[in-house]
Amino acid sequence: MTRTVLIIEDEKLIVVSTQMVLEAGGFRVESAVNGEEGIAKARSVAPDLILLDIMMPGIDGWETLTRLKRDPATAGIPVVIFTAREHARGHQRSAEMGAVDYFRKPFEPDELIALVEKHVGQRA
């Protein structure tokens, strides 16, 4: 069974490169360019894992995470925060808000695959 990862990320270059890595790792990839679209896709696609950027136009990643966790249809999908910016106590904050992990960009492709393998499909 193919496992699906949803990337919520406004930066096209990162979507394309991350998608390439994940597809090489055997995953199917869906993407959304902002929080609102991401939430809608999460509901319609029901991915096995979500990679969520923080700095996005419109609602940011933290708000997107809050809404994903509030909605019973998406609350169980594991979310990994995927960020290029320093966030004060980022690991703690993302864990408190219900994300399963916190991943920094730039990244090593092998590390991303290992991380996704670790959390994918681990529905709460």
Partner 1 sequence: MNIITNIMDGIVFVDRGGNVALMNPVAEDLLGAKFFVAIGKPVVALQGRKELLQAVAADHARMDRQREVTQTVEVHHDAQDIMFIKCTTSRVLDWRGQLAGVLTALRDVTAEHKTDQLRNQYLSIVAHELRTPLTGIKTFATMMAKGSLGPLSDRQQRVCDAIREQSVRLEHQIDKLINLGNLEACEYGQDRESFPVAEFAAGLLAPFEQPARDRKIALTFDVEGDDLWLQADRADLRRACQTLVENAVKFTRDGGHIAVAIELSGAGLRFRVTDDGVGVDPRYHRRIFEKFFQVEDPLTRHHGGAGLGLFVAKGIVEAHGSRIEVSSQLGQGADFSFALPVHKQGVPVIAGAKNPSQGAQP
Binding residues vs partner 1 (CB under 8 A): 11, 13-14, 16-18, 20-21, 24, 55, 84-86, 88-92, 95, 104-109, 111
**DSSP per-residue string spanning 8-21:** E-S-HHHHHHHHHH
Residue 64 vs 74, nearer CB to partner 1? 64
Q: How far is the CB of 113 from partner 1 (least distance, A)?
A: 11
Torsion of CA 13, 117, 120, 42, to 10 degrees: 10
Q: How far is the CB of 1 from partner 1 (least distance, A)?
A: 23
Q: How far is the CB of 75 from partner 1 (least distance, A)?
A: 23
Neighbouring CB atoms inside 10 A of 100's CB total 19
Residue 16 vs 46, nearer CB to partner 1? 16
Rounded Cα gap, residues 124 and 108, in angstroms: 27
